Each structure stands twice: as structure tokens, then as C-alpha cells.
Amino acid sequence: MTTHLAWLLMLVLGNILTAGQIPPQGFRYASYEVIIPRRQNARYRQQDPKEVTYLLKIEGESHMVQLRRKRDLVPKHFPVFTYSKKGDIRVDYPFIRDDCFYDGLIHGRPHALVVLSTCSRGLRGLLRVENKTYEIKPIQTSSTFQHVVYRLEEEEEVIHMKCGLTVEKQHHQEAMIRKIENVATKSALKGSWWTHIRYAKIAVVVEHERYVQFGRNETVVAMQLLDIIHIANSLYEPLGIHVSLVGMEIWSEKNLIPIADTLDTVLDDFNQWRQNVLASRLEHDAGHLFIYKKFGTDLGLAYVAGMCTPDYASAVESYVAPILVSFATIFAHELGHNLGMRHDERHCVCDLPDCIMAKRHTLSHKFSNCSYNDYYTEITWGRKECMKIYPDTNKLYKLKYCGNKVVEHGEQCDCGSKLSCESDPCCQSDCMLRSGVTCAFGECCSKCQYLPAGTICRKSNSVCDLPEYCNGTSEWCPEDVYVQDGAPCQDGAYCYHGNCSTHKDQCKMIFGSQANVAAKSCFRELNARRDRFGNCGITTGSDFKECKVHDVFCGRIQCENINYLPSLEEHNTIIQTRINNRLCWGTDYHNGMGIADIGAVRDGTPCGKGMICINRECASVSLLNYDCNVTKCHKRGICNNHKHCHCDYGSAPPYCVGKGYGGSIDSGPPPPHKAVSAGTIGGIIILLGVATGTALGIYYRSRLMSCYRRLGGRLHPMA
């Protein structure tokens, strides 16, 4: 048994050390072994649950590793750009799992770092335990879930690989980048809010030789990139930075730039290509080129502080060893340069012998105090504004050609590949409609034919909104129209951009149905404080505006009668303030939150008799120029935002004079049966009520309130 085990270990070690799989220069394999991870909560029977625990026995010690799944490392539609033999570029969206990446902890080891993925039938990634760095990966041919675990250790008195950035290059780069920065923007943004998290959206280009070394397998290349991004994301987490991969390009047939013998030249050439070519088809904060070539002792080079600057957001990494952990730290190092981090000097510390931004290549997983300071300085001066934007995980990047599933000029439809078009009943592979077909998509298209005229395609969603109908000759629903701004709606409010907003309804939306608008003293006191809980807006420089006396009801919403704390989106803060023995409730907001502001009083909300809030100021409703008098639509309709009559059922547009089925010249033709929504009827009724006198006004007002109650008092977001 012992002889067999020794033979197996020698076989595994031989597999590691052959085919160029020697450790990176300056490191050695300090230990290696074959283990079988034991899953501790397999009873849940999920392939990749949100949380999972494994027992790993490494170098004679048992480690209970608890893992928690991470998301958003890769977009939902992950673009992979490749080239045909003729040089034509193609973009594919292969299925890339985003549910198999984990960060974790080790019980009893509070300072351990665990970054693993389960995407390839086993555990792959990094374990850092008591300053020992391990890499684990599955043995693909094993039927018993065997894994190789090896520990890398730095060698003394040998030449170490290093970053190619010198002090002279750094000073030259910084001078170039600072020259193109907008000084006015920097001054305006100085002291801006520190966001809760910033997002580094990276595009990676794989040069041809590296692609060949991975067997020309796009999936293998993509999974290695994701493992690298995953580890780097964990290293940057303490700084509040989320690193994600927005797309990948593979130079599958040949390199599109010459791979020179110096990293300086390669970086300059790649940066020019990135600006001129890649940036036009793949949005990114920084582009990195991964190369399979040796450049002496240099492993990478990047433009310092180039992130978010279109002219210099580039880096190059060169690596020939297959060690995932080592490559990930090289990538993290060069990305640090993009973020403004310089090489560590002697006074820079991080509780480890070396930190990530050391000039020589290390396996450190911590940034130094100097790196933190460099990055915070960049943020404070507003030089990394692109990182405030959350990655769009649903975005599609499409090249213009028939077969990309996007209808472009000269195409009637686009069903994709020839195979997918075979099962498409409407569209042919030449991007033209099949015989006898009138449409292939759209709100007014069903089963390859236009929907009949009068089919509702967009319902009214409030008393100030209007429905739209298919016209029978187009696949598109007409433009979304709504009641003209300034039309009275309910509780002294006026329609504004399709909404009927009040302080009371906004309080109910935030705090629940029992909530009510707070006393006037709450608005007067709190909105004059000029802080994140009470203000009339935020200036360009992120200072809060104090509300003027007549604008206090247009600042931040103040509510009362709150029985429980609502479940709000992450980063929202609720505050309770006592004013004159009354409890005032509100929410906060600042520029760094990156989410919708639910606590700003909505435009169109009444702030006095004949007054409404517009842009945090209380203004006369007459500014809306509402001119839909009772004669224009002959008391049988109401004006829409184009000032055209939207007629009640029984009369016909454009002026609601003759008999018809209602609607307007903008809405499409309604059906010949009475199907106008309650919201529309309510809007028409209240307009007529205001116009025709007190008695009718009371009657129609009661009709409107009945309609509004049937709608459940819904409050809808601003357009």
C-alpha cells in the first residue's frame, strides 16, 4: 500500500513538473500531495449551493473550509471575440457559469484567505494559511475526487522576476496622463463622496501564442481568466473594489500587433490598438493583454493611474508558467498600477514580508499602507469616476452582420445562426421574413402576424397615464403618452410626467400603508439642515443645498406614523428625529450610493396652493402651461402630453365630436368595446369636474377617488 501511494505521488509530481510546468523563477515547490476533499453538508444535494463546507487535510493538518458563493464576476452575456481564417471578427456568448466561485474562511484561522471555484468538477484556487500559499486543483482523470495540493515557497539568493516599471518610466507616464486630465473636473470633484464600492471593469485580450498553448480551446482560456479575476477580486475587496471581467478577445488566427522584444514597445502598441479598435466594440475601464512570451526578468508593465483615462487604460502581463496563483498576483499588481499605485518602498508595510505592489514578484495577498494612500489620493481627486458605474451584466455587444440576432439596416429580422433559424417560424437565415409572414418581433406581433387593431399593448398604470393600442399595420406599440402636465388629479395634486404624486403616497411607498406625511415642522426644521437627511439637492461638488423657506416641502420627504422599519435596498439609511415632540422619519442620500434616491420629494408633488415641486424648488403650476380647457375636447376627453385630445369611449378623435371608440391620434385605435382603463376614466372625469362647476366637481371627484381606491393608490416611479 505504501509503495503504491509513493508511486502515485511521484506520478502526480511528474505531471506537475513536465510540459513546462516548472515553478515560476524565484519559487520552488515546498510540498505537494494528493488529497480528497470531504464535503460536510452534502445532504442538501445541490451541485453548487450558496454555502458549502469542505474538510481538507493538508500537510498533516485538517482544515474546515467554509465557502460562500460570489456573483457578478462575469456578465450574464459574456462576449468572446475571435477571428475566422479570413480575418473576419465574430462575437459569441458561450455559457459561462457564474455560480461556482467562492470566497471562504478556515475555522480557527481568522487570518486565512480562501478563494476557490468549483466550475471544473472539483476545487481550484488559492489557500493562504499562516503565510503559506497553497494552490489546489482537481485531477481530472480521478474517479475518487482526488486533488493536487502544492505549496509554493520563495527561494533565497536567486534572481526574482519583477515588474517592468522603473522610476523613470513611472514619472514619464504620470506626466503624460496628468497632461490630459481635466483640471476643472478635478477641482469640482475634490472631496466627493466615497462610494460604498467601486467597480473595475476589465477587458482581457489573449495573444495568439497563449491561445495555442491552451490547445486553441476558448473555454479553457475563459475559465483560467475567470479564476484569475476571481482571485484578484478577493485581493481588492479590502479596498472596496469589485473586479469583474466584461469581455475577452482572443487573437485566434494571428497577433494583431507585433509582439516586440521589450514590454515598453508591446504596451505602447497594444494601447494604440485598444484605443483604435477594442474600445469601439467593448466598453471597459482598463484593457489587459496576456502574452505567452519571456521578456527577461520582466513580467508585466502598465500605465500608472491609467484607469478611466481612455488614452492610457492599458497593461500587459507576460507569463509562461501554469501557476494560477502566481499569474493572479501579477495581474493584481499591474491592475494596481492602473489604479494609481506605485511600487512599495522601504517604509511601506502590510503585516507580511512583501506586499502586492513590491517591485519583485511575490505571492503576497495584501496591499501596503502606501498602496492604500496612492489609491485613496486618486479617488479623492475624482480621477476614477468610471469606477462608480456598476457593471451592466445584461449588456450585449453585437457586431453588424446578418446572424447576430440584432435587426440592422437592410434586415427584416435576424434569427441568428442557420441552425437556430431552421426552427424559427417567422425569420429566414438571410434575415428576411418567411413567405406569408408580416412580422417577427415587437409588442404588436404575435405568431408572425400583426395583432389586430385595437389590441391593447401598453396599459394605463396611473390616473395620469393613458393606454396605447396596436394599429394593425405595425409590430410596434405607439409612443407612450400620458395626461398633459398640470391636469388636476387627486388631493390637490396635478399630473406630472404621467404620475400623480403626493407627500402622503410617497411616505406609504417607503414606509408602508400605515405611514402618513409628517407635520410641516419636520420639513421646515430638517430640510434646512443641509445634510444628507435634509436638503434641497446636491451641488456638482457634492455639497448639500439648504432649502429656502418656500422650498422646504420640496427637499427630502418627512413621514410619521411609522410602525415598523421597511426592508429597503442596500445602502439606504433611515433616520428618526424628534421635532416639537413629534417623530419625523426620513431617509438619506449622497452621490456615492449609486442607487435611486427614494427619499427626494418627487417632481410634481404639491407644495402649496397652485404650487408644485420641480427640481427641488416650489414653483407655480402655471409654469406647466396647462391649456386643455373644457371646449377643446368638448367635455368628452382630456389632453395628452402632445396636447391632443384623448377621448372617452363613445366619441372619436381628434376633438371628441363624432361617435367613436375613444383614444387619440397618438394612442392607436381602441377596440370597439368599452375597454378604457379606470385610470384614464378617472383622469378625464376629474378634468371635467374642475371645469364645469362645483356640483359636478364634487360628483366627479367622488368618481375619481373611487377609481383611485380601486387602483390601490399606486405610486409609480418618475420617468
- Catalytic status, residue 334: yes
Of 289, 339, 342, give the one whose Cα is nearest residue 319.
289
Q: Read off the CATH number of the domain in which 331 is found.
A: 3.40.390.10
Contact between 275 and 193 (Cβ < 8 Å): no
pLDDT for 600 equals: 94
**Mean pLDDT, residues 46-74:** 87
Residues 333 and 248 in one domain: yes
CA distances from 268 to 264, 278, 311, 663 (A): 6, 14, 11, 61
Q: Which helix (H) or strand (E) segment is 88 a member of?
A: none
Helix (H, G, I), strand (E, B) or coil at 481: coil
Residues 706 and 595 in one domain: no
Residues 464 and 509 in one domain: no
Residues 273 and 323 in one domain: yes
Residues 261 and 197 in one domain: yes
Say which residues have a Cβ less than 8 Å from residue 384's Cβ, sequence separation at least 6.
198, 307, 308, 339, 340, 378
Q: For residues 227 and 318, what is the distance between their CA atoms, to the nearest angstrom? A: 17
Of 62, 38, 63, 40, give the one whose Cα is nearest residue 113.
63
Contact between 499 and 464 (Cβ < 8 Å): yes
Burial class (CB in 10 A: 0-12, 13-18, 19+), 583: middle
pLDDT for 93 equals: 82
Helix (H, G, I), strand (E, B) or coil at 582: strand
Q: Strands (DSSP E) along 265-388, which ranges?
A: 286-291, 298-302, 314-318
Residue 494 falls inside a structural domain: no
Residue 200 has pLDDT above 70, yes or no: yes
Give the range of the structural domain holding residue 122, as residue numbers without chain letter.
Answer: 2-70+91-154
Q: For residues 74 and 573, what is the distance between their CA atoms, to the nearest angstrom? A: 29
Residue 564 falls inside a structural domain: yes
Q: What is the DSSP letter of 472?
A: S
pLDDT for 382 equals: 67
Residues 476 and 506 in one domain: no
Q: For residues 78 and 408, what is the distance between their CA atoms, to the nearest angstrom? A: 21
Q: For residues 294 and 291, what is the distance between their CA atoms, to the nearest angstrom? A: 9
CA distances from 461 to 125, 468, 544, 549 (A): 50, 11, 34, 34
| Residue % of the chain over a pLDDT of 70 | 84
Residues 597 and 633 in one domain: no
- Look-up of cell digits 466598453: 283
**Mean pLDDT, residues 652-667:** 94
Cell of 572: 439606504
Residue 715 falls inside a structural domain: no
Q: For residues 49 and 44, what is the distance between their CA atoms, to the nearest angstrom? A: 8
Contact between 116 and 124 (Cβ < 8 Å): yes
CA distances from 435 to 318, 427, 622, 694 (A): 55, 9, 55, 61
Last residue of a domain, which of 372, 388, 404?
Answer: 388
Helix (H, G, I), strand (E, B) or coil at 169: helix
Residues 60 and 143 in one domain: yes
**What total number of domains does the chain contain?**
4
The per-residue pLDDT for range 691-713, each reduced to its tens digit, is 333 333 333 333 333 333 333 33
The per-residue pLDDT for range 505-536, each reduced to its tens digit, is 999 999 999 999 999 999 999 999 999 899 99
Residues 248 and 377 in one domain: yes
Other Cβ atoms within 10 Å of 553 Cβ, number: 22
From the list 135, 249, 334, 378, the catalytic residue is 334
pLDDT for 688 equals: 39
pLDDT for 8 equals: 47
| Residue % of the chain over a pLDDT of 90 | 61
Residue 193 falls inside a structural domain: yes
| pLDDT band, residue 235 (cuts 50/70/90) | very high
Say which residues have a Cβ less than 8 Å from residue 5's Cβ, sequence separation at least 6.
none
The per-residue pLDDT for range 271-311, each reduced to its tens digit, is 999 999 999 889 999 999 999 999 999 999 999 999 999 89
Residues 267 and 356 in one domain: yes
The per-residue pLDDT for range 319-343, each reduced to its tens digit, is 887 788 999 999 999 999 999 999 9
Residue 184 has pLDDT above 60, yes or no: no
Angle CA 238–242–243, to nearest 5: 115
CA distances from 494 to 620, 680, 691 (A): 11, 14, 14
Contact between 283 and 249 (Cβ < 8 Å): no
Lowest-pLDDT choice from 166-170, 180-184, 304-308: 180-184
Q: For residues 347 and 342, what is the distance between their CA atoms, to the nearest angstrom? A: 13
Residue 467 falls inside a structural domain: yes
Residue 375 has pLDDT above 80, yes or no: yes
- Output the average pLDDT for the chain: 84
Q: Measure CA 368 to chain center.
A: 29
The alpha-carbon radius of gyration of the chain (Å, integer) is 32
Residue 427 falls inside a structural domain: no
* Ramachandran category for residue 387: left, alpha or beta (phi over 0 → left; psi -120 to 50 → alpha): alpha
Residue 418 has pLDDT above 80, yes or no: yes
Contact between 701 and 507 (Cβ < 8 Å): no
Residues 21 and 123 in one domain: yes
Q: For residues 552 and 278, what is the distance between their CA atoms, to the nearest angstrom? A: 49
Contact between 601 and 503 (Cβ < 8 Å): yes
Annotated binding site: 333, 337, 343
β-bridge partners, 48? none
Residue ranges of the alpha helices (H) in 164-287? 167-180, 183-189, 208-213, 218-236, 263-273, 279-281
Annotated binding site for Zn(2+): 333, 337, 343
Q: For residues 574 and 568, what is the distance between their CA atoms, to the nearest angstrom? A: 9
Last residue of a domain, which of 338, 371, 388?
Answer: 388
Q: For residues 22 and 29, what is the distance between their CA atoms, to the nearest angstrom? A: 9
Residues 702 and 631 in one domain: yes
pTM score above 0.85: no
The per-residue pLDDT for range 3-45, each reduced to its tens digit, is 444 444 444 444 444 434 577 777 888 898 999 999 986 554 4
